[in-house]
Amino acid sequence: MKVECSGIGPDGWFDDRFGAKGSVFVNGMPGLSPGFSIKDAPEGTKSFAVVFDDYDAVSAAGFLWVHWLISDLKETEVKEGASHNDPPFTEGSNNWFSALGDLTREQATGYGGPAPPNGMHRYTLKVYALDTVLDLPSGFRLNDLYFAMDGHVLAHCKAVGKYSTD
């Protein structure tokens, strides 16, 4: 299985429009989500889960930053801008609902794009093929997703792209 993210250019960088240098903002967060497609999902896949995060945020925040969570994705293609536009999947809350963020869970549900405060960060889009539908509520957290997926992952893959506000 593999994932191809249309927001990541051939040079390995996310296009500016998907982060803090873009022009679409939702509740103060960069709000234009990148499109992506999933190829060669294993037989028996009933849904996909997606985690878009930033491990380099540890150097600035002290923990990894969750930018987007998706559960119950049943299609193999997500169109650019799907988040915040009545998407056909369930979205969890990102880390703008955290000790360092200032949004409510509802406001932080959906995509909150890259806005690294300290140089270049690497962002990982992880896709999990699942043998079930998770039925998580809107606004679920990362831990909810990982506990619900336990024992149901058939395959996983990732795409990595860089972003900087410099």
Contact by Cβ (8 Å): 55, 99: no
User: Which contiguous run of DSSP H or E holds residue 147?
Assistant: helix 142-149
Q: Hey, which residues does 8 pair with through a beta bridge?
A: 14
CATH number at residue 86: 3.90.280.10
Alpha carbons 18 and 85: distance in angstroms, whole number: 15
Entry pTM: 0.96
Q: How many domains does the chain have?
A: 1
Residue 26: give the domain boundaries: 2-163
Residue pLDDT tens, the chain, 166 long: 999 999 999 999 999 999 999 999 999 999 999 999 999 999 999 999 999 999 999 999 889 999 999 999 999 999 999 999 999 999 999 998 877 778 888 999 999 999 999 999 999 999 999 999 999 999 999 999 999 999 999 999 999 999 999 9
Residues 11-55: pLDDT tens digits? 999 999 999 999 999 999 999 999 999 999 999 999 999 999 999
Neighbours of 25 (CB within 10 A): 13
Amino acid type, 37: S
